Amino acid sequence: MGIFERVSLLVRSNINELLDRAEDPEKTLDQIIRDMADAISKAKAQVAETIAQKNIVEEDLKETRKLAGEWQRKAELAVQRSSDDLAREALRRSRDYGSNSTVYEHQLATQVEVVDKLKADLQALQSKYEQIVRSRQVLIARHRTAKAQVQVQKVAASLAGIDPTSELARMEEKIRLAEARARAMGELGESSLERRFAELEEAAADDVEDELAALKAGMAPAALPSGEEKS
């Protein structure tokens, strides 16, 4: 496959499709750009070689036309000098160069067509290459956006079976239970405090009873001595 065929294949390829199939589209795009630049460089060398060949044919055509004219003038001179032998030889050479000129004319026409076509193709390839280079960032941005969309869709799909309402209700129940446990601990603390005060009050009540008993004992009449009667 020639240079132009390979570059044309790259140009005709759907760049977006190539990127979709690639494992790393950004690297693939950069590689495509490098390949196109290398192929276009080689294509330019091929076009330059074709132009050089065309120029050689053009120079050969000019030379044969010049020689054909010169031998024609020599034949005329020989006729003027009545030298038929020289005139014949000059005419043969003029005719040979004239025949060569005809061949070169056809060859040059063909070369010109080839060169013009190659130049047009090369210009089209160069334009396509420049277009791809300019749109590189856009293509990469589109690919990154597509990747992000795929990730979002995956996350959305994974969350599709989850009911957020039920999850919130479950969390609310857990919070309510924790709050109830905290209140219970507080009530336990209050009950313990009240019990301690009740014990102190009971102890204080016992002290009053003891004081009353002592008071009653102190107010009782004194006992009489043995054998004496109360008057």
Confirm if 50 and 122 have CB atoms less than 8 A apart: no
pTM for the model:
0.52
**Is 81 part of a structural domain of the chain?**
yes
- Looking at the structure, tell me whether residues 103 and 195 fall in a common domain: no
Instruction: For residue 119, give every residue at least 6 positions away whose Cβ sits within 8 Å of its Cβ, in sequence order, or none.
Output: 47
Say which CATH number the domain at 82 has. Answer: 1.10.287
- Looking at the structure, tell me whether residues 17 and 82 fall in a common domain: yes
Number of domains the chain contains:
2
Confirm if 52 and 114 have CB atoms less than 8 A apart: no
Confidence of residue 6 (pLDDT cuts 50, 70, 90): low
**Is 138 part of a structural domain of the chain?**
yes
Residue numbers of the domain that contains 136: 3-154
Confidence of residue 224 (pLDDT cuts 50, 70, 90): very low
Residue 176 has pLDDT above 60, yes or no: yes
For 108-140, the pLDDT digits (tens) are 999 999 999 989 888 888 888 888 888 888 877
**Is 132 part of a structural domain of the chain?**
yes
Hey, what are 218's tokens?
């102190």
Pick the most confident of 77-81, 142-146, 161-165, 224-228: 77-81
For residue 23, the SS3 value is coil
DSSP 8-state code for residue 199: H
- Looking at the structure, tell me whether residues 29 and 9 fall in a common domain: yes
